[in-house]
């Protein structure tokens, strides 16, 4: 039975979504094509009808998950981002969490094409949140960008370090609590710096 173009596109999108979650959970090298296709509900042989290589899928799945991160960031101010990102809940949601924290280390060892995908995702996130960073009238035009590069690096690092600890480790929670509090305290004084944790 022939598959329509619309169904083929839907199948491809489903494979990309499945890969996006599995890569974030297990890393790029921890997911084989056969396992991925089985998890998506397709045969191994069907993979090459959609993608030229696993590397192609890695780039597409990363772009997909990075763009979803942007949807969340668009709705948050800077304190809101910190309160949602630097949390145990985010730390424990590997397959649905931030692609940068889950796969940044893996991406560093991949092709220039994949690293370009990550660079574009980082750039978009820094730009979006940098525009929301609270600055005064006499602040340099690029100050928000500089501050968000710093905050994003600290936020991603906090999640990576926390995940490196055993799940029940007191240190895993301490890293998140200390980093979140310090990041919020570093925001300009007029900004609300609640340490409450988002959903």
152: its two tokens: 């994003």
Supply the range of the domain harboring residue 84: 5-185
Task: Evaluate whether residue 88 is within a structural domain.
Answer: yes
| pLDDT tens over the chain, length 199 residues | 577 889 889 999 999 999 999 999 999 999 999 999 999 999 888 899 899 999 999 999 999 999 887 777 788 899 999 999 999 999 999 999 999 999 999 999 999 999 999 999 999 999 988 888 877 677 777 888 899 999 999 999 999 999 999 989 999 999 999 999 999 999 986 544 444 444 3
Task: Evaluate whether residue 196 is within a structural domain.
Answer: no
For residue 165, what are the contacts with CB-CB under 8 A and spacing of at least 6?
171, 172, 175
Task: Evaluate whether residue 197 is within a structural domain.
Answer: no
State the alpha helices, DSSP H only, in the chain.
5-26, 33-40, 54-74, 78-85, 88-92, 99-107, 112-130, 143-164, 170-185
Q: How many CB atoms lie within 10 A of CB 91?
A: 24
pLDDT (tens digit, 9 = 90+) per residue, 114-152? 999 999 999 999 998 888 887 767 777 788 889 999 999
In the DSSP assignment, the letter for residue 62 is H
Task: Evaluate whether residue 157 is within a structural domain.
Answer: yes
Give the pLDDT score at 199: 32
**Cβ(156)–Cβ(100) below 8 Å:** yes
Give the pLDDT score at 28: 96
Task: Evaluate whether residue 62 is within a structural domain.
Answer: yes
Give the pLDDT score at 198: 40
How far is it, in rounded angstroms, from Cα 78 to Cα 62? 24
Give the pLDDT score at 192: 47
How far is it, in rounded angstroms, from Cα 11 to Cα 45? 14
Give the pLDDT score at 1: 57
Number of domains in the chain: 1
Give the pLDDT score at 196: 42
CATH number, domain at 105?
1.10.357.10
């Amino acid at each position: 039975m022939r598959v329509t173009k619309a169904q083929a596109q839907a199948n491809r999108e489903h494979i990309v979504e499945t890969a996006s979650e599995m890569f974030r959970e297990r890393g790029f090298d921890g997911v084989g094509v056969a396992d991925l296709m089985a998890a998506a509900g397709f045969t191994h042989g069907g993979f090459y009808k959609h993608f030229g290589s696993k590397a192609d899928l890695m780039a597409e799945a990363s772009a997909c998950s990075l763009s979803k991160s942007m949807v969340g960031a668009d709705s948050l101010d800077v304190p809101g981002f910190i309160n949602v990102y630097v949390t145990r809940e985010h730390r424990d949601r590997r397959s649905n969490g931030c692609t940068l924290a889950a796969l940044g280390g893996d991406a560093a060892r991949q092709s220039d094409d994949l690293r370009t995908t990550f660079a574009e995702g980082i750039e978009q996130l820094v730009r979006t949140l940098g525009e929301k960073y609270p600055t005064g009238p006499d602040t340099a035009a690029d100050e928000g960008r500089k501050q968000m590069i710093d905050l994003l690096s600290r936020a991603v690092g906090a999640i990576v370090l926390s995940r490196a600890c055993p799940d029940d480790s007191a240190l895993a929670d301490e890293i998140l609590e200390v980093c979140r509090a310090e990041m919020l305290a570093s925001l300009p004084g007029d900004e609300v710096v609640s340490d409450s944790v988002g959903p």
